[in-house]
Amino acid sequence: MLFYVIMENNNYKKFMLLAIEEAKLASKNGEVPVGAVTVYNSNVIAKSGNLMVKYSDPLMHAEMIVLKRSSEILANMGLSIRHEKLDIYVTLEPCAMCAQAISLCRIANLYYGADDPKSGGVKYGSKVFEHSTCHHKPNVFSGIEKEKSKELLQKFFKKLRNSNI
């Protein structure tokens, strides 16, 4: 049983570190450094950072991109994302849009890194999963590798502030 827990720990750290790599890549491209990874049967099915700047589209949050890609990949396999058990790893607490998207896709487990008191929609703000209008609530695990995610965001915004002075 202990072994199982250790394996679990290793797995979820591994996937979160992949999400953090996506956040780093995003940062290099001038995007707010947030990354996300979807996992299906222990395999990574999609990974991305934010792409809002690239596409001039404020809806291109990392979570939305990986959920959409996962839907496509599963549909090509003749499967529906709503009927499969997927997990999502995100470096930052999802906003209300992404939280509701996670619910609509019936994601089994949401693992996220840093909390987002300013714009979050899971632990903070509209707390999307906590209402009767939310018809599927994933298991939520927060704080995974949160220092790494926070540091990336802080560095990014510090650099942005300095460049604007």
To a copy of itself, the closest distance from the beta carbon of 106 in angstroms equals 8
Active site residue 151: no
Taking Cα atoms as reference points, which of 144, 161, 154, 153 lies closest to residue 18? 144
To a copy of itself, the closest distance from the beta carbon of 135 in angstroms equals 7
Closer to a copy of itself by Cβ: residue 7 or 59: 59
Closer to a copy of itself by Cβ: residue 17 or 73: 73
CB atoms within 10 A of CB 120: 23
Contacts to a copy of itself by CB under 8 A: 55-59, 64, 67-68, 71-72, 74-75, 80-82, 95-101, 104-106, 116-121, 124-128, 130-135
The sign of the torsion formed by the CA atoms of 42, 69, 128, 125 equals positive
Per the CB < 8 A criterion, the answer to whether 40 and 56 are in contact is no
Query: What's the helix, strand, coil split of the chain in %, to 5?
Result: 50, 20, 35
63, 84, 93, 151: the active-site residue = 63
To a copy of itself, the closest distance from the beta carbon of 49 in angstroms equals 17
CA–CA separation, 1 vs 105, rounded Å?
A: 31
Closer to a copy of itself by Cβ: residue 132 or 162: 132
- Catalytic residues, by residue number, are 63
